[in-house]
Amino acid sequence: MKKILIANRGEIALRVMKTAHRMGIRTVAIFSDADRNSPHVRYADEAFHVGPSPSSESYLVMDKIIQIAKQTKSDGIHPGYGFLSENSAFAKAVEKAGIKFIGPRTHAIEVMGSKLAAKDAVKSYNIPMVPGTDSAITDPHEAKKIAAEIGYPILIKASAGGGGKGMRVVEKAKDLESQMERAVSEAVSSFGDGSVFIEKYVASPRHIEIQVLADSHGNVVHLFERECSVQRRHQKVVEEAPSSVLTPELRNAMGQSAVDVAKACDYEGAGTVEFLLDENFNYYFLEMNTRLQVEHPVTEMITGIDLVEEQINIARGEKLKFKQEDLSIEGHALELRVYAEDPMDNFLPSIGTLETYRSPKGAGIRVDDGFEEGMEIPIFYDPMISKLITYGANRNEAISKMISAIRAYKIEGIKTTLDFGLFTCQNEHFVSGNFDTHFVKKFFKPDQIREDNLKLEQKAAKIALSIYLKNKKKLVKIHDEAGNWNQRK
Ligand code: MV4
């Protein structure tokens, strides 16, 4: 593989290109109207306009992207995350064009794209799953019978779902029929597939996911876990590795289950297996994401492995160079997603221009971004500006480093989730590790940020005043000594 096209934009396009260049691989960028002046366009060896700003007319147009890949004689396409990364039709079309799709084969994407198919694929492997139905359910009477067996509260989920869409919690039998109708219609309108199933509702879970790597020779390893419980409406905001609650035994068991999930779908490449962990430390397999994830850097920090390099080597047909026993965790990493959103105003998108943009630098600080000062955040795509990643010898060090990095990060012109990150890193429940997926809902109050900012402003005012008074005294002294009031040393 000598040249790859990156079918993506922003920070992840840059991230992939950096590794490609380090490996001596040439890169081809694609860009929409809105991204004409983006860093990913300049950083690539070649760049091609793919269409107007809306993703449906640019980053999602398979034929156009494949045509550019052919025209530039690219021998691989890296899809990044989002867009076409989990689209099996795209993976198929890429391979049909004689180009390597840097990701799993279509079979794995298809199986894991359906939660029911995924459950079915792993059922012979003894992987813990939440009690529930293993096939689509359409009859409300049958649903009631099953729900009574499982016990309320239950959760109705869309088989084609993701990111919480089409999910409905049902507390009592009398609400089941109406909630089921809603879940089905939401699933039809969002995914064009109304299949839903029922699970026992795990009320206060932690979200733990395991990174896996699988080569084309049947070798599969896991790269430990990431904890992503600090999320808001299914949008992750702070992630970390390792989790503060896993014991070595539980880590091994979950890691082995993740490897089994990968084997069950004949996985190839980098993938992530999602689990819920309940209060009693029981874990349950939820789904597998068949792409490189946004939060992959925290895993890279604690393992020292470049996941994009591994993806490319696997796509080249190489064998993994390490075995499970060669892998270990060193230190602790945190990631804060810096979104163009206002945490003080219900995380509403904050659009505008990056009037000031200066990212923090230093040992143990990594910033993955794709914007520069003076650029506008386009309204057409995900509002993530950057990812701030910090690394320390232990969790407390990573947290203090995050606090100082957030303070050193200067962004003006747009409201961001930087303040939210500061709130999280200073919150006692987060610091003690005692939190679950309800963290934001339970503990985040916008007034807290307001109060913190006010305290900081008062402190700054006090310091300014004391400096002023000190200087004034000096001035008076100079005046006394020299007899000239207008001069300072
Ligand atoms: C659950 C659950 C509780 N019980 N399943 C949300 C998105 C999808 N990946 C699965 N999700 C959940 N499934 C059962 N049986 C709670 C969630 C859930 C959640 C999971 C991970 C991270 C954040 C979450 C926020 C709300 C609900």
- pLDDT value of residue 483: 56
What one-letter code names the amino acid at 322? F
Residue whose Cα lies nearest atom 11 of ligand 1: it is 164
Residues with a catalytic annotation lie at: 291
**What is the whole-number distance in angstroms between the Cα of residue 331 and the centre of ligand 1?**
28
Grade residue 489 by pLDDT with cuts at 50, 70 and 90: very low
| pLDDT, average across residues 187-201 | 92
CATH 3.40.50.20 corresponds to the domain 3-102: yes
Peptide bond into 242 cis (omega under 30): yes
Grade residue 162 by pLDDT with cuts at 50, 70 and 90: confident
| pLDDT, average across residues 345-350 | 94
pLDDT tens-digit readout, 367-411: 999 999 999 999 999 999 999 999 999 999 999 999 999 999 999
pLDDT tens-digit readout, 35-74: 999 999 999 999 999 999 999 999 999 999 999 999 999 9
Peptide bond into 153 cis (omega under 30): yes
Ligand 1 site, CB within 6 A: 130, 155, 164, 199-202, 205, 207, 231, 234, 274, 276, 286-287, 437
Residue range(s) in the chain whose domain bears CATH number 3.30.470.20: 206-443
**What is the whole-number distance in angstroms between the Cα of residue 204 and the centre of ligand 1?**
9
Grade residue 468 by pLDDT with cuts at 50, 70 and 90: confident
- pLDDT value of residue 484: 64
The residues, any chain, with a CB within 8 Å of residue 178's CB and separated by 6 or more, are: none
Residue whose Cα lies nearest atom 22 of ligand 1: it is 207
Grade residue 476 by pLDDT with cuts at 50, 70 and 90: low
How far is it, in rounded angstroms, from Cα 14 to Cα 136? 41
How far is it, in rounded angstroms, from Cα 81 to Cα 58? 15
pLDDT tens-digit readout, 140-150: 899 999 999 99
- pLDDT value of residue 487: 44
How far is it, in rounded angstroms, from Cα 236 to Cα 219? 30
**What is the whole-number distance in angstroms between the Cα of residue 359 and the centre of ligand 1?**
33
- pLDDT value of residue 451: 79
Residue range(s) in the chain whose domain bears CATH number 3.30.1490.20: 131-200
**What is the whole-number distance in angstroms between the Cα of residue 114 and the centre of ligand 1?**
16
Q: How far from the centroid of its chain's Cα atoms is residue 171's Cα?
A: 30
φ/ψ of 233, rounded to 5, equals: 50, 50
Output the average pLDDT for the chain.
Answer: 94
Which of 154, 199, 206, 207 for mutating ligand 1's site (highest number of atoms within 8 Å of CB)? Answer: 207
pLDDT tens-digit readout, 297-340: 999 999 999 999 999 999 999 999 999 999 999 999 999 999 99
How far is it, in rounded angstroms, from Cα 142 to Cα 339? 43
**What is the whole-number distance in angstroms between the Cα of residue 281 and the centre of ligand 1?**
16
| CATH number corresponding to 206-443 | 3.30.470.20
Q: What percent of the chain has pLDDT over 70?
A: 97
Which of 116, 152, 202, 206 for mutating ligand 1's site (highest number of atoms within 8 Å of CB)? Answer: 202
Q: Which CATH class is domain 131-200?
A: alpha beta
Which of 225, 229, 232, 234 for mutating ligand 1's site (highest number of atoms within 8 Å of CB)? Answer: 234
**What is the whole-number distance in angstroms between the Cα of residue 143 and the centre of ligand 1?**
20
Residue range(s) in the chain whose domain bears CATH number 3.40.50.20: 3-102
Residue whose Cα lies nearest atom 8 of ligand 1: it is 164
The two three-digit tokens of residue 56, written as one number: 């449906």
pLDDT tops 70 at residue 462? yes
pLDDT tops 50 at residue 488? no
Residue whose Cα lies nearest atom 15 of ligand 1: it is 201
How far is it, in rounded angstroms, from Cα 430 to Cα 423? 10
Q: What percent of the chain has pLDDT over 90?
A: 86
Q: Which of 203, 179, 183, 204 is nearest to 195 (CA)?
A: 183
pLDDT tens-digit readout, 212-267: 999 999 999 999 999 999 999 999 999 999 999 999 999 999 999 999 999 999 99
Ligand 1, atom nearest to 161 Cα: 8
